[in-house]
């Protein structure tokens, strides 16, 4: 990440935007923000175009799903079961060369935040390996 981007990120975080988060390790440099929205929806904005993000998400979820995946192209949505939880992944265009990932997992009518976070982190890691 160049110095200007680092400075801009530091200033944004210093101004108190709660959703701004720089992920350490492998995701540094391509995760713009990450947060949990109401309804236990885990989200992340990544610096990949929506088509690349969608293709990567489908590949990742095929490898994680227990019984295959169901996809809808418009809107871009994947439904499957992972670790006994029903998982829904949505990929949306956010901006030019930025995409929004939304992950929600539930088990027995309640949110499963551990599975949702694991899936979101796996999606981000797999995107990073494509770079």
pLDDT digits (tens, 9 = 90+) for 4-45: 344 344 434 433 333 333 333 344 456 777 888 888 899 999
Give the CA count within 13 Å in the CB-facing half-sphere of 107: 10
What the block records as the tokens of 18 is: 């709660």
Task: Provide the whole-model pTM.
Answer: 0.76
Grouping H, G, I as helix, E, B as strand and the rest as coil, residue 60 is helix
What's the total number of domains in the chain?
1
Asked whether residue 48 carries a pLDDT value surpassing 50, the answer given is yes
Whole-number Å distance between alpha carbons of 106 and 80: 11
CATH of the domain at 50: 3.30.310
Note down the domain range covering 97: 3-130
pLDDT digits (tens, 9 = 90+) for 83-130: 999 999 999 999 989 999 999 999 988 999 999 999 999 999 999 887
CA nearest neighbour of 39 among 119, 111, 117: 111
What the block records as the tokens of 15 is: 């101004």
């Amino acid at each position: 990440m160049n110095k200007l981007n680092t400075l801009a990120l530091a200033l944004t975080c210093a101004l108190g935007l709660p959703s701004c988060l720089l992920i350490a390790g492998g995701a540094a440099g391509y995760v713009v923000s990450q947060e949990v929205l109401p309804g236990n929806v885990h989200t992340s904005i990544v610096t990949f175009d929506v088509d690349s993000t969608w293709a990567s998400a489908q590949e990742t979820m095929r490898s994680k799903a227990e019984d295959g995946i169901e996809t809808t192209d418009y809107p871009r949505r994947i439904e499957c079961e992972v670790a006994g939880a029903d998982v829904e992944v949505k990929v949306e265009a956010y901006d030019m060369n930025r995409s929004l990932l939304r992950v929600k997992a539930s088990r027995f009518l309640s949110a499963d935040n551990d599975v949702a976070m694991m899936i979101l982190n796996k999606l981000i890691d797999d995107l990073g390996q494509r770079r």
